[in-house]
Amino acid sequence: VALLVRVNGNSGTPLYEQIAGELKEKIDGGDIPEGYRLPASRKLAAQLGVNRSTVYKAYQELWAAGYIESTPGSYSFVRRRRLPAAPGSGAPSVSGINWQRRSSAAASGLQTGWEAEEERRRQLTALLPPDTEPIDFTPLAPDRRYFPAESFRKCLNTVLVNEGPELLAYGDPQGVPALREYIAERLRLHGIRVGPDEILITAGAQNGIELLFKCFAPPGSAVVVESPSYSRAVGLARLLGIELVPVSMTPAGMDLEELEGILSDHSPALVYTIPNFHNPTGITTSQEHREQLLQLCERAGVPLAEDGFEEEMKYYGTSVLPVKSMDRSGAVLYLGTFSKVLFPGLRIGWIAAHPEAVKQLTAVQKYSLLCGSSADQAALALFCRRGFYDAHLRRMHRIYRSRMQAALRALRSHLLSGPLHWSKPLGGYTLWLESADSTFPQEMEFLRRLAQRGVLVSPGGDHYIGSSDGTRFRLSIGEVEEEQIEEGIRRIGEAVREILQ
């Protein structure tokens, strides 16, 4: 093979890059075969009339890019590659492994469930009237139009300017101390008294739930959950081989009599509860209910995992303090997050718990994520200290209080006489609509009629452990503006009346 490389001293490109570029092209194009021995750098340099170090740099570049093999002081060879049967065709079309069968029953259950959800979403989307924005009550997330993204960017910039390399190295698995300190102070507002050492920063509340399961609920153990409950906690438990024991939700919260029986029959590893703006029903339990729940768990010696995912989105009426604030024996594992009030994509939450529990959980985190993003955590701590978080929260309360009022007003105007009943949440983003009337159509039928009117809502059935009857659905006002909320609910009323005729 004749090695033809040409360099041009007058082009703007450095000589070594020209040489490397030409060689790459020839290797890619097959002009230089695999295993080909490149000329010694001295020889090629003489041939091209360039410095030896120029050729050396070109070879370095080829090496770094994976084109050649070399041993210092020896020749360089074009790398041998065993390429797939049909190079350039992407992945093989047929896998030797049956991935569907290879994945665990739980994992493929999640995937099947997800695909069914997507398929349902596609079907409903197809029914939407053309040329108009749908009114989408499905995303449970704060409205990104109000994200204080600029302030956060500046904080992130500041911390990276000040201590970039430290923040980009492996960090404290328990989380950046400055953020733990802020959270500890913040929790005092909710009656929770913990120090920074009693807090573990997690990658969002979901990661927190996972750590609790992995630490305290080994495969085969039982975890008590409300039914319905947060569907991703339920799916995750299944994935980890945990047995789920459902307790019915009453309008006052988890059925405590039922729980009492379960605690003595099943000796569960954990009880998981969402006391504020319960997902999906929107129920907030009373102080008394919380006290009783805690007492039952304390008496049974079973840890209580309290999911306070929207603790700071109380913007209405009498506010009730978290169960953790009443926790004298250290039985409550409290989960918090910034995802539902600030940036969902930031993935920062926390667990506040007894120091012994935090130690165990941190050990588990060392074998899970190793550590979180220290840069994000430090930036968030600065963001909070500068008052941006408080200011944002005030704004969110104003916006969502007003939206929720609009929603409740519209429900009274358009659905009062119908078969649907609804919760009156004290904060958060969700409303739960339920029909006690057995003649009222099944969920999917109703969802279709709503979609035809340009309205999307979440079906309620997904949130139950096991099957569930009736028509129930969840409305989230997270990303819907006031006027659209009113219009959307007006159309829901219209759909109900059409069905009843």
Of residues 137 through 176, those in contact with its own copies by CB under 8 A are 139, 141, 144-145, 147, 149-150, 152-153, 156-157, 160-161, 164-171
Cα–Cα distance between 67 and 360 in angstroms, integer? Answer: 47
Question: Which one, 19 or 495, has the nearer CB to its own copies?
Answer: 19
Contact between 251 and its own copies by CB under 8 A: the answer reads no
CA 192 to chain centre: 25
- Our CB check for its own copies shows the closer of 33 and 317 to be 317
Q: Judged by CB, which is closer to its own copies: 57, or 278?
A: 57
- Stretch of 4-12, 80-88, 427-435, 457-465 lying at the interface with its own copies (CB under 8 A): 80-88
Q: Which residue in the set 135, 183, 215, 475 belongs to the binding site for its own copies (CB under 8 A)?
A: 215
Q: Which residues contact 335 (CB under 8 A, 6 or more apart)?
A: 202, 205, 208, 209, 212, 305, 306, 307, 308, 309, 349, 350, 351
For the bound state, the minimum distance from the C-beta of residue 293 to its own copies, rounded and expressed in Å, comes to: 13
Stretch near its own copies under the rule CB under 8 A, chosen from 43-51, 198-206, 439-447, 492-500: 198-206
Question: In terms of CB distance, is 242 or 489 closer to its own copies?
Answer: 242
Q: Where are the beta strands (DSSP E) in 5-142?
A: 68-70, 76-78, 135-136
Please tell me whether the peptide bond between 165 and the residue prior to it is cis, using omega within 30 degrees of 0.
Answer: no
Specify the long-range contacts of residues 365-369, CB closer than 8 Å, at least 24 apart.
365/173, 365/174, 365/200, 365/202, 365/211, 366/173, 368/207, 368/210, 368/211, 368/214, 369/203, 369/207
Looking only at Cα atoms, what is the longest distance across the chain? Answer: 93
Residue 269 binds its own copies (CB under 8 A): yes
Query: H/E element holding 236?
Result: helix 231-239
Residue 446 CB, nearest approach to its own copies (Å): 26
Q: Is 251 exposed, middle or buried (0-12, 13-18, 19+ CB in 10 A)?
A: exposed
Beta carbon nearer to its own copies, 2 or 99: 99
Kindly state the DSSP code that residue 268 receives in the 8-state scheme: -
Q: Which is nearer to its own copies, 140 or 450 (CB)?
A: 140
Q: Smallest Cα–Cα separation from 205: which of 340, 392, 374, 382?
A: 340
The alpha carbon dihedral of 41, 46, 50, 52 has a sign of: positive
Q: Coil, strand or helix: which one is 383?
A: helix
**Which DSSP letter does residue 255 get?**
-
Contacts of its own copies in 276-305 (CB under 8 A):
287, 291, 298, 301, 303
Measured from the CB of residue 441, what is the shortest distance to its own copies in angstroms? Answer: 29
Are 231 and 208 in contact by the 8 Å Cβ rule? The answer is no
Identity of the residue, 392 or 453, whose beta carbon is nearer to its own copies in the bound complex: 392
How far apart CA 58 and CA 408 sit, in angstroms, is 69
478 binds its own copies (CB under 8 A): no
Out of 8, 9, 10, 71, point to the residue binding its own copies (CB under 8 A).
71
Residue closer to its own copies, measured from CB, 190 or 449: 190
Quote the CA–CA distance of 501 and 489 in Å, as a whole number: 19
Tell me which of 11, 191, 469, 483 binds its own copies, using CB under 8 A: 191
46 vs 64 by CB, closer to its own copies: 64
Is 397 one of the binding residues for its own copies (CB under 8 A)? yes
Q: CB nearer to its own copies: give 415 or 426.
A: 426
CB of 469 to its own copies, least distance (A): 26
Contacts with its own copies in 120-139 (CB under 8 A)?
A: 139
For residue 228, is the peptide bond before it cis, meaning its omega torsion is within 30 degrees of 0? yes
What's the burial of 328, exposed, middle or buried (CB within 10 Å: 0-12/13-18/19+)? exposed
Name the minimum Å distance from CB 370 to its own copies: 5
From the list 9, 30, 49, 90, which residue makes contact with its own copies (rule: CB under 8 A)?
90
Q: How far is the CB of 452 from its own copies (least distance, A)?
A: 27
Q: How many residues bind its own copies (CB under 8 A)?
A: 138
Residues 333-352 that bind its own copies (CB under 8 A): 343-347
Q: Which is nearer to its own copies, 377 or 435 (CB)?
A: 377
Contact residue for its own copies among 318, 439, 467, 501 (CB under 8 A) = 318
For the beta carbon of residue 428, count every other beta carbon within 10 angstroms.
Answer: 27
Q: Least distance to its own copies from the beta carbon of 240, Å?
A: 7
- Find the binder of its own copies among 21, 241, 246, 419 (CB under 8 A): 241
Among 5, 63, 266, 385, the residue binding its own copies under the rule CB under 8 A is 63
| Cα–Cα dist 402/391, whole Å | 17
Any contact of residue 393 with its own copies (CB under 8 A)? Answer: yes
Part of the chain binding its own copies (CB under 8 A), chosen from 2-10, 362-370, 432-440, 480-488: 362-370
Amino acid at 299: R
Report in angstroms how near the CB of residue 59 gets to its own copies at its nearest: 11
